Chains A and B, each alone.
Chain A
Amino acid sequence: MKALEKKAFRSFFKDGIYDVFLGLILLSFGLPMMLNEFGWIDYKTMTWPLVFGLILNIGALLFFVFGKKYITVPRLGLVHFAKSRKRKMRHVRLLLVISVLIGLVTFFLTLFKLLPVGGETGIPTVGLIFGIQALIVFSLAAYFMDFTRLYLYAFLFAVSVPVTFWLKKNDFFAYPSLYVFSLTAGPMLVVGWVLFVRFLRQFPIRSEAGIKDE
């Protein structure tokens, strides 16, 4: 029965919505860096990076919430999972809340220049915290959700920001964030989109005939 429950729960990852959502979230960290490298926005004023990040984050969240509600559920059906699964999902939500809080604290500490801005490696403390936190939070979420792809995404999230700063410091490429985020957020978006299109073809909306009253 456990295997059956797991199979039923994992069927909701077939839609690719999680993949696109996470890809967009990761891109929201990379896009301001890319625009800064292209010389289109100035990092000295935090307004534009924040605006771009916020727009992408809100877009990702809207895609996730409305996608699940109006695309996935009408096709796959509605299910209320057992208590054990609900407990696991509570763990995931708690993890995400803690993660956001750590992210906010780190962001404000950086804003007020209370965290060291990179040493020999050129990786700022905020980048290191981001990487370690992403690895821990997403790996634990992958475990609780039985979502295997999320382990890979945890790694991609973890390396993206630190590697970008390291490449920038060592001056290997002209546009390091473009390369790094294409290789980290890119696969998530591609996998997500392919799964999403396949899902739409495989699962048409089925209106129920209902059950005969006898």
Chain B
Amino acid sequence: MSKQKKSETSDLSRLLGIDKVIHEPARFMILAYLSAVESADFVFLLNQTGLTQGNLSFHLSKLEESEYVGIQKQFIGKRPHTLLSITDKGRKALKEHLRVMKELIDGLFGAY
């Protein structure tokens, strides 16, 4: 096996170590939007991401479990209102994920 092949294999093995919570496209999209603003509500994310209510709700729960997203529930009048923001942990994890992915892509396809 050539040196280049060896380095590619070792690079690919790094894929196993990436954060699977962020790597899921819908969750990645949610975190990307939340990292671009200070905070946003559920309806805003619904419109921007194009996800269904159930889907968005599910992925937000996952992100909250991992402490990547802070969820603040309140009532405006009689209507429920959910304000969401990315946590420091979430921002750090997103940055790290982007760095690893960039390195992997550069390492694998940089020559092309």
Q: Do A and B bind each other?
A: yes
Residues of A with C-beta under 8 A to B43: 74-78, 206, 208
In the bound assembly, the distance between CA atoms of A177 and B33 in angstroms comes to 46
The reply to whether A208 and B82 form a contact with Cβ atoms under 8 Å apart is yes
Q: Which of A1-56 contact B (CB under 8 A)?
A: 1-2, 4-5, 8, 11
- B110 contacts A by Cβ under 8 Å: no
The reply to whether B42 and A210 form a contact with Cβ atoms under 8 Å apart is yes
**Which among A8, A83, A206, A211 is the interface contact of B36 at CB below 8 angstroms?**
A8
Q: Which of A50-78 contact B (CB under 8 A)?
A: 74-78
**Ranked 6 nearest A-B pairs via Cβ:** A77-B44, A77-B43, A5-B36, A79-B40, A208-B42, A80-B38
B: which residues have CB within 8 A of A? 32-33, 35-48, 53-54, 57-58, 60-61, 64-65, 71, 73, 79-83
Residues of A with C-beta under 8 A to B73: 210-211
In the bound assembly, the distance between CA atoms of A4 and B82 in angstroms comes to 21
A: which residues have CB within 8 A of B? 1-2, 4-5, 8, 11, 74-83, 203, 206-212, 214
Interchain residue pairs with CB less than 8 A apart (24): A4-B32, A8-B36, A11-B47, A75-B43, A76-B44, A77-B42, A77-B46, A78-B44, A80-B37, A80-B40, A81-B38, A83-B38, A206-B53, A207-B79, A207-B80, A208-B46, A208-B81, A208-B82, A210-B42, A210-B73, A210-B82, A211-B61, A211-B82, A214-B61
Residues of B with C-beta under 8 A to A83: 38
Q: How many A-B residue pairs have CB under 8 A?
A: 87
**Known A5-B36, A210-B73; contact A78-B82, beta-carbon cutoff 8 A:** no
Interface of B is mostly: helix
The reply to whether B37 and A8 form a contact with Cβ atoms under 8 Å apart is yes
Closest to A77 in B: B44
Residues of B with C-beta under 8 A to A75: 43, 47
Given contacts A78-B44, A208-B82, A211-B57, 19 further A-B contacts (CB under 8 A): A4-B32, A8-B33, A8-B36, A77-B43, A80-B37, A80-B40, A81-B38, A203-B47, A206-B53, A208-B41, A208-B42, A208-B79, A209-B53, A209-B54, A210-B80, A211-B60, A211-B71, A211-B82, A212-B61
B86 CB to nearest chain A CB (Å): 11
In the bound assembly, the distance between CA atoms of A157 and B54 in angstroms comes to 46
Residues of A with C-beta under 8 A to B46: 77, 206, 208
